């Protein structure tokens, strides 16, 4: 066991971890930030994506001990300071970018990483960037619309469902 | 996953010393090793992280070579190799998905030598040099079959030195569930001749397609290899594709790579 400290959603947070403690369990079990979902636990689905030093990372496929000192943003950090939904979250609600919501935390975090890199992505760029985020409900169409809306682009121009 | 001791040295020398311990194994991006530890296919006693060693990270041009540190992520190669070696940058940008590219590293990929991985095709397709903590290994000697390399116990890759080709391209037929290559070809044209490396197809891992190299060295065009067929002997056969299908894809992907390289 050893103590790991990260800045999570802007606050310094510490927990005792084993070598094998994954970032996903550090967040969910250690810090009780259960917004980060674990879907497959085998690096395939992207439900567990969080930002580590600004980059999208599958939290089920990184050891907490390896990220000592990192800055992490989870879906809990995406809301506005007053607790209302942040821009990306609001777009997912407005455009029905979720049904069961299981994939949503990962989708929102991947979207945040994409828009930080590329503020006005094309539809094709959005689909390409979200390749590692699997959704079993929506058929992706409304997710793409939500991402385009979150980037301030015209959603009406997208192909109809 | 079984537990282990975790160490994170800040120099190559300290990492090599830590790896001399019993049951120690290097951890780079973890995108292959962590899933295999979860499946208990791997159970190291000590994991030695290579992600805190600044000398292992970076993309640097040295004359007609591009030198890439072993712990450089796929995302960084896609970005930082784009100007000097666009064929390699494009290959790195097609690995997995963005989150995999943000953690996964070139050293981990070459050490693992998955028969469907992308980087082995670029290393063999350019005749790169694998630099380790103790020696330099030419790509033709380095790859020794599926998941098998010339690396010794405790030896770590520190960098990869790629000769920069005049033109190159990687054409990948994606296996959409894993996002690895079902079959892919890396083609590189040098003044001295053309090299062609195929990944995803053979049971012996990445290999050079000698007949295509000969034909392309005298005429670098997709037409020059139009009639060339690769034998399905010893090709991988699984639910994603038969040996004959993969052998067919070898020709298709090589022609696409040649056309893309121009
Ligand atoms: C969803 C998904 C999709 C993927 N798609 C692709 C793809 O399309 N193409 C592709 O090529 N790969 C793909 N990968 C694999 C990915 O590229 C891995 O990053 C890579 O295979 C291993 O690199 P790593 O840095 O993560 O290594 P690790 O997982 O940390 O290590 C892998 C192995 O190499 C050893 N090792 C690591 N670094 C060194 C070193 N410097 N010297 C000696 N030994 C070392 C480790 O001990 C371990 O045995 C995918 C992975 C995932 C999870
Ligand atoms: S839970 Fe991490 S990728 Fe599925
Ligand atoms: S909304 Fe159910 S998996 Fe995406």
pLDDT tens column, B107-122: 999 999 999 999 999 9
- For ligand 1, atom 11, the nearest C-alpha belongs to B117
Ligand with smallest separation from the Cα of B199? 1
Q: Which of A46, A78, A110 is the last residue of a domain?
A: A78
pLDDT band per the 50, 70, 90 thresholds, residue B18:
very high
Whether B3 contacts chain A with CB within 8 A: yes
The answer to whether the CB atoms of A19 and B3 lie below 8 A apart is: yes
Please identify every stretch of chain A with a pLDDT value under 70, giving residue numbers as ranges. Answer: 159-161
Q: Are A44 and A61 found together in one domain?
A: yes
How distant, in Å, are the alpha carbons of A23, B89, B187 from that of A18?
Answer: 11, 36, 45
- Choose among B6, B34, B98: nearest Cβ to A113: B98
Q: Residues of A with CB below 8 A from B102's CB?
A: 52, 55-57
* pLDDT recorded at residue A1: 73
Q: Are A140 and A110 found together in one domain?
A: yes
Q: Are A59 and A119 found together in one domain?
A: no
Domain limits at A58? 2-78
The answer to whether the CB atoms of B103 and A46 lie below 8 A apart is: no
**pTM (global) more than 0.95:** yes
* Shortest alpha-carbon distance between residue A19 and chain B (Å): 5
Q: Are A72 and A19 found together in one domain?
A: yes
Q: Is residue A24 situated within a structural domain?
A: yes
Crossing angle (nearest 10°) for helices A87-94 and A141-150: 140
Burial class (CB in 10 A: 0-12, 13-18, 19+), A58: buried
Ligand with smallest separation from the Cα of B23? 1
Q: Are A8 and A31 in contact (CB under 8 A)?
A: yes
Q: Are A15 and A69 found together in one domain?
A: yes
The answer to whether the CB atoms of B1 and A20 lie below 8 A apart is: yes
Q: Are A30 and A69 found together in one domain?
A: yes
Q: Are A62 and A123 found together in one domain?
A: no
Q: Report the chain A residue with the minimal C-alpha distance to residue B97.
A: A132
* Shortest alpha-carbon distance between residue A131 and chain B (Å): 6
Mean pLDDT rounded to a whole number for chain B: 97
Q: Are B91 and B124 in contact (CB under 8 A)?
A: no
Q: Please compute the mean of the pLDDT values over residues B68-73 and round it to a whole number.
A: 98
Q: Is residue A45 situated within a structural domain?
A: yes
* CATH code where residue A101 lies: 1.10.150.120
Q: Are A93 and A64 found together in one domain?
A: no
pLDDT tens column, A137-155: 999 999 999 999 999 998 9
Whether A2 contacts chain B with CB within 8 A: yes
| Residue list, ligand 2 pocket, CB within 6 Å | A 38-41, 43-48, 58, 60
* pLDDT recorded at residue A157: 73
Q: Are A95 and A71 found together in one domain?
A: no
The answer to whether the CB atoms of A20 and B102 lie below 8 A apart is: no
Q: Is residue A158 situated within a structural domain?
A: no
* Shortest alpha-carbon distance between residue A46 and chain B (Å): 8
* SS3 per-residue string spanning A11-49: EEEEEEECCCCEHHHHHHHHCCCCCCCCCCCCCCCCCCE
- Choose among A2, A19, A43: nearest Cβ to B35: A43
pLDDT tens column, B147-199: 999 999 999 999 999 999 999 999 999 998 899 999 999 999 999 999 999 99
In chain B, the percentage of residues whose pLDDT exceeds 70 is: 100
Interface of B with A in 30-89 (CB under 8 A): 30-31, 34-35, 37-38, 47, 49, 51, 75
Q: Is residue A109 situated within a structural domain?
A: yes
The total domain count for chain A is 2
**Residue whose tokens read 């109809």:** A160
Q: What is the ipTM of this complex?
A: 0.96
Contacts for A121-125 with beta carbons within 8 Å, 24 or more apart?
A121/A147, A121/A148, A121/A151, A123/A148, A123/A158, A123/A159
Q: Are A69 and A95 found together in one domain?
A: no
Residue B46 pLDDT > 70, yes or no? yes
* pLDDT recorded at residue A159: 63
The answer to whether the CB atoms of B103 and A2 lie below 8 A apart is: no
Q: Is residue A161 situated within a structural domain?
A: no
* pLDDT recorded at residue B118: 98
Q: Please compute the mean of the pLDDT values over residues B24-47 and round it to a whole number.
A: 97
Q: Residues of B with CB below 8 A from A140's CB?
A: none
Q: Is residue A155 situated within a structural domain?
A: no
Q: Which domains does chain B have, with CATH numbers?
A: 5-49 (3.30.43.10), 55-163 (3.30.465.10), 167-261 (3.30.390.50)
Q: Are A61 and A15 found together in one domain?
A: yes
Q: Are A8 and A41 found together in one domain?
A: yes
**Residues with Cβ < 8 Å from B212, sequence gap 6 or more?**
B194, B196, B225, B228, B254
* CATH code where residue A19 lies: 3.10.20.30
Residue B77 pLDDT > 60, yes or no? yes
* pLDDT recorded at residue A49: 98
Q: Which of A78, A95, A123 is the last residue of a domain?
A: A78
Q: Residues of A with CB below 8 A from B179's CB?
A: 131-132
Q: Is residue A159 situated within a structural domain?
A: no
The answer to whether the CB atoms of A49 and B99 lie below 8 A apart is: yes
């Amino acid at each position: 066991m050893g103590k790991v400290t990260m800045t999570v959603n802007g606050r310094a947070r510490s927990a005792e971890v084993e070598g094998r403690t994954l970032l996903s369990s550090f967040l969910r079990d250690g810090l009780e930030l259960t917004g980060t979902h674990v879907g497959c636990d085998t690096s395939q689905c992207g439900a567990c994506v969080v930002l580590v030093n600004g980059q999208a990372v599958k939290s089920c496929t990184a050891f907490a001990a390896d990220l000592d000192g990192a800055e992490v943003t989870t879906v809990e950090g995406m809301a506005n300071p007053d607790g209302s939904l942040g821009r990306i979250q609001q777009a997912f609600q407005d455009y029905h970018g979720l049904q069961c919501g299981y994939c949503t935390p990962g989708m929102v975090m991947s979207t945040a990483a994409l828009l930080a890199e590329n503020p006005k992505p094309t539809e094709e760029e959005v689909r390409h960037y979200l390749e590692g985020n699997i959704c079993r409900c929506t058929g992706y169409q409304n997710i793409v619309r939500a991402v385009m809306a979150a980037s301030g682009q015209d959603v009406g121009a997208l192909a109809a469902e | 996953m079984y537990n282990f001791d975790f160490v994170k040295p800040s120099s190559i020398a300290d990492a090599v010393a830590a790896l001399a311990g019993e049951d120690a194994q290097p951890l780079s991006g973890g995108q292959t090793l962590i899933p295999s530890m979860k499946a208990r296919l791997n159970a190291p006693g000590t994991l030695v992280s290579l992600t805190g060693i600044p000398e292992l990270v970076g993309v640097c041009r040295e004359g007609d070579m591009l030198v890439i540190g072993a712990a450089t992520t796929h995302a960084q190669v896609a970005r930082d190799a784009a100007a000097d070696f666009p064929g390699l940058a494009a290959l790195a940008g097609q690995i997995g998905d963005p989150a995999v590219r943000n953690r996964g590293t070139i050293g981990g990929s070459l050490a693992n030598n998955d028969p469907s991985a992308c980087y082995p095709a670029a290393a063999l397709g350019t005749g790169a040099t694998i630099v380790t903590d103790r020696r330099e290994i030419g790509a033709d000697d380095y790859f020794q079959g599926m998941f098998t390399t010339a690396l010794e116990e405790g030896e770590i890759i520190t960098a990869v030195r790629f000769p920069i080709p005049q033109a190159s391209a990687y054409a990948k037929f994606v296996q959409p569930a894993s996002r690895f290559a079902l079959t892919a070809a890396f083609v590189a044209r040098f003044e001295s001749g053309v090299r062609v490396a195929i990944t995803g197809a053979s049971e012996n891992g990445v290999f050079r397609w000698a007949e295509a190299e000969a034909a392309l060295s005298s005429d670098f065009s997709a037409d020059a290899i139009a009639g060339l067929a690769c034998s399905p002997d010893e090709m991988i056969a699984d639910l994603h594709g038969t040996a004959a299908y993969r052998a067919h894809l070898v020709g298709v992907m090589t022609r696409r790579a040649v056309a893309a390289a121009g």
